Structure 1
Amino acid sequence: MAIGKETITNNSVLLEFGPGDKGIIIPSVASAPGVVGGTFVFNTVNKDVEVWEGKNNNNNGGWTSLTDENDGVAHNFSNAGPDVSGSTGVIIGSSNTTKPGALVLESTTRAMVLPQVENPHLSIKGAVAGTMVYDTISDTLAVYNGTNWSYWK
């Protein structure tokens, strides 16, 4: 699936974004029960971008902060309402899933290509907490916590 462009780069891509100084905004949550490895959130309690790693903490899983400077600032977007018990979000790559999430990419052979932006700290105006991109200049994952950009190789 391509968003903001006509086609995907190749058959290994499940979701890809077109050019421009735009990122994706991950969900802002106070808690995320039942998550699986690879889940990204903006934690509104800790005010940082986090990823759930299923193999850390003696294989019990745990959150890893991707924010390396100061607490962030939560944005004032609000959800349309509470989560509906038993419902699923949008699933791409399959007709069903056992994983929770607002957007679940369900594939064992294809992946999402993050929006690619040069120097997001300079080029994305008005970024909000939870914005995520791939920085093509530093060749890193870039996440924004509402105050600072953090970069990960």
Structure 2
Amino acid sequence: MKKLILAVLLISISLANAQVIIGDAVGTASNKTSVLLEFAAGQNKGIIVPYVRTLPTSPTPGTIILDATTATAARMKFYNGTAWQDLSGQDGNVTTALTSQPTGITETGKSIIGADTSPADGVLVLESTSKAMVLPTVTDVQNIPSPSPGMMVYVKGSTKLLAVYNGSKWSFWKP
């Protein structure tokens, strides 16, 4: 009997689809089959990408950063596999924000969601061939009380925009 229960338990665990929801147990996605990471609804908060003072020499395709190599001309950037793409379209000033950021620290650890290991180099790595991250959603970026440089959100409603904050201004991407 114990072996039967153990076998059923192991089969159930192997068929389960892991997912992480930050902020509550419900999230925002109505269909969870393709979701690896998502965030609670109605929080008026976003996800903040890493600030970098030196661009990575061998970034993994899909990397998103706040390029603070020049603090007065910071820009959100995305690595497409061959080149960095500007998501901001305008300079931001992160001089004040950088004063509270550590310097001279080499990050060696990383958290991986979706796999046991990953060749990707990053602080947070989402590794999946069939699942994606659902960004935090807001109805309007004006509802975020104190946006931080490097913040990303999805603006839902009639506009349906990706919004990124470079430390000075929001930039919007429409599908």
TM range (shorter): 0.7 to 0.9
Moved over 4 A (4+): none
Please show how residues 70-85 of structure 1 align to structure 2 within 5 Å: 71-74=91-94, 75-76=97-98, 77-79=100-102, 82-84=105-107
Structure 2 length-normalised TM: 0.76
1:49 to 76, 80, 89: 76
**Greater strand fraction, Structure 1 or Structure 2:** 1
Which SS does the other structure have where 1:91 is aligned?
strand
Match of 2:40 in 1: 18
Structure (1 or 2) with the larger CA radius of gyration: 2
Please show how residues 55-66 of structure 1 align to structure 2 within 5 Å: 61-66=82-87
1:119 to 140, 143, 151: 140
Match of 1:128 in 2: 148
Match of 1:36 in 2: 60
Q: In the superposition, relative to structure 1, how do residues 24 and 104 fare at CA in structure 2: closer, same or farther (>3 Å)? A: same
Retained in 2: the 8 A contact 1:142–1:151? yes
Structure 1 length-normalised TM: 0.87
* Aligned residue type for 1:129: P
Which SS does the other structure have where 1:134 is aligned?
strand
Retained in 2: the 8 A contact 1:135–1:142? yes
Structure 2 unaligned residues grouped into runs of 5+:
1-19
Structure 1 unaligned residues grouped into runs of 5+:
55-60
Task: Quote the offset at 1:125 in angstroms.
Answer: 1.4
Match of 1:57 in 2: none
Q: Percent identity?
A: 37
**Greater helix fraction, Structure 1 or Structure 2:** 2
Tell me whether 1:91 sits opposite 2:118 in the alignment.
no
Deviations 1:63-82 (A, max 9, x none): 1111123x112223414862
Which SS does the other structure have where 2:45 is aligned?
coil
Q: Which has the higher contact order (CA 8 A, sep 6+)?
A: 1
Root-mean-square deviation (Å): 1.6
Q: Kindly tell me the number of residue pairs found equivalent between the two proteins.
A: 143
